[in-house]
């Protein structure tokens, strides 16, 4: 088994998911080679062969060109599997490769069961073992599923890839998250509101509990998308990753992207009407209740202490 690992870099920095790909190859007991569109001055630590294309020449987001470069590497190396992170870069590029290679793509692999990739279904309420029927397989790996982003040792032996024709999509630059406002990373207690709060007026009760506990309030994605809470309070993959002493999830079902942003918290309390919600898997205490009744009552009792 030989796996081609598609590393990621942004603004010249190698992203942590790259090392999860290395951990995956080790778990598969597979031989591997790596591909990166990045910067020669900031190479990933990797004990193997790295095909490198310069991001300055190819663009960090340029799917037509990245696909073409990868197909060249596939032609040289003939890997059985191509592994990418299940990230905005990986899930964009993977179907393009799978189509070009006549390969099956298995998305968001969270583990292996008897050698078969396991993927989540219905917001991780269910799981599936997937069998590919093609000679080559393209997989994308869920963040954190295969070893944490510990940096491996080693210096890669680099083979540079030449230029490619221009792509159809023109990348014009990055827009950074708005600065200022609350820094959830510094809070020792975070109480977060999820879709279960039902209406914007109920943000106040979550904020009140956060205050009673001496912390800050946060929110899951749907609440931020609905503009009930500002984006700098969003916890999850596309918001902030936090690890407070206490995290209280109010009416948050526990989408994978949210869990990735808070599961390292020291102590987790979930308040949810659905006993089977995935948040229950990471919670130290699950209170099966309607947050709209429970949170004000809890706040009152804490204030009375």
Partner 1 sequence: MKILVCIKQVPDMESKFKLDAAGLWYARTDLAWRMNEYDEYAVEQAVQVKEQFKDADVTVLCIGPEQVKETMKKALAMGCDRGAHIADDEVWAKEPFEVAGVIAEFARGKDFDLIFTGMQSQDRGSGQVGVLVAEMLGMASVSTVVSFAFDGTTVTAKRELEGGVKACINVKTPVLVTCQLGMNTPRYPTLPNIMKAKKKELLSTPVADLLKVDKRQETARMYFPEKKGGGQVLEGDLGEMADRLIKILKEKTAVLS
Sites for partner 1 among residues 189-248 (CB under 8 A):
189, 213-215, 221-222, 224-225, 231, 234, 237-240, 245-246
How many residues interact with partner 1 (rule CB under 8 A)? 92
Which residue lies nearer to partner 1 by CB, 33 or 197?
A: 197
- Report the alpha-carbon distance of residue 66 to residue 171 in Å, rounded: 13
Residues of this chain, 42-81, that bind partner 1 according to CB under 8 A? 60-61, 63-64
Which residue lies nearer to partner 1 by CB, 47 or 276?
A: 276
- Report the alpha-carbon distance of residue 85 to residue 102 in Å, rounded: 20
Does 148 bind partner 1 (CB under 8 A)? Our answer is: no
Which residue lies nearer to partner 1 by CB, 4 or 283?
A: 283
User: Do residues 261 and 241 lie in contact, with contact meaning Cβ atoms separated by under 8 Å?
Assistant: yes
User: In 213-282, which residue ranges form alpha helices assigned H by DSSP?
Assistant: 221-225, 256-262, 279-282
In the bound complex, what is the minimum distance in angstroms from residue 83's beta carbon to partner 1?
15
Q: What is the DSSP letter of 186?
A: G
Does 38 bind partner 1 (CB under 8 A)? Our answer is: no
Does 27 bind partner 1 (CB under 8 A)? Our answer is: no
Sign of CA dihedral 60, 10, 262, 86: positive
Does 18 bind partner 1 (CB under 8 A)? Our answer is: no
User: Do residues 140 and 103 lie in contact, with contact meaning Cβ atoms separated by under 8 Å?
Assistant: no
Which residue lies nearer to partner 1 by CB, 5 or 94?
A: 94
Q: What is the DSSP letter of 24?
A: H
Pick the binder of partner 1 from 75, 122, 153, 165 (CB under 8 A): 122
DSSP 190-211: EEEE-GGG-SGGGHHHHHHHHH
Does 94 bind partner 1 (CB under 8 A)? Our answer is: yes
Residues of this chain, 252-291, that bind partner 1 according to CB under 8 A? 253, 266-267, 269, 274-276, 280-289
Which residue lies nearer to partner 1 by CB, 95 or 152?
A: 95
């Amino acid at each position: 088994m030989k796996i081609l690992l598609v590393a990621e870099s942004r603004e010249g920095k190698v992203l942590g998911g790259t090392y999860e790909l290395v951990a995956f190859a080790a778990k598969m007991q597979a031989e591997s080679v790596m591909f990166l569109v990045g910067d020669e001055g900031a190479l990933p630590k990797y004990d193997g062969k790295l095909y490198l294309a310069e991001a300055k020449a190819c663009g960090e987001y340029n799917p037509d060109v990245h696909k073409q470069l990868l197909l060249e590497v596939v032609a040289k190396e003939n890997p059985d599997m191509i592994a990418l992170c299940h990230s905005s870069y990986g899930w964009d590029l993977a179907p393009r490769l799978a189509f070009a290679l006549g390969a099956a793509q298995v998305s968001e692999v969270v583990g292996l069961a008897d050698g078969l990739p396991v993927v989540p279904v219905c917001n991780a309420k269910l799981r599936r073992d997937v069998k590919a029927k093609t000679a080559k397989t393209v997989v994308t790996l869920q963040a954190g599923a295969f070893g944490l982003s510990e940096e491996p040792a080693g210096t890669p032996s680099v083979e540079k890839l030449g230029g490619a024709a221009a792509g159809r999509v023109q990348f014009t630059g990055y827009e950074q998250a708005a600065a200022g406002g609350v820094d959830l990373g510094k809070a020792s207690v975070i109480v977060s509101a999820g879709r279960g709060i039902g209406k914007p007026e109920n943000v106040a009760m979550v904020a009140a509990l956060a205050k009673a506990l001496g912390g800050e309030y946060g929110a899951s994605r749907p609440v931020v998308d609905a503009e009930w809470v500002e984006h700098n309070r969003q916890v999850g993959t596309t918001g902030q990753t936090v690890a407070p002493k206490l995290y209280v999830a109010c009416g948050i079902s526990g989408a994978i992207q949210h869990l990735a942003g808070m599961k390292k918290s020291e102590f987790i309390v979930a308040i949810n009407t659905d006993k089977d919600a995935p948040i229950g898997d990471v919670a130290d205490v699950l209170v099966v209740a309607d947050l709209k009744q429970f949170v004000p009552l809890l706040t009152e009792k804490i204030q009375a202490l």
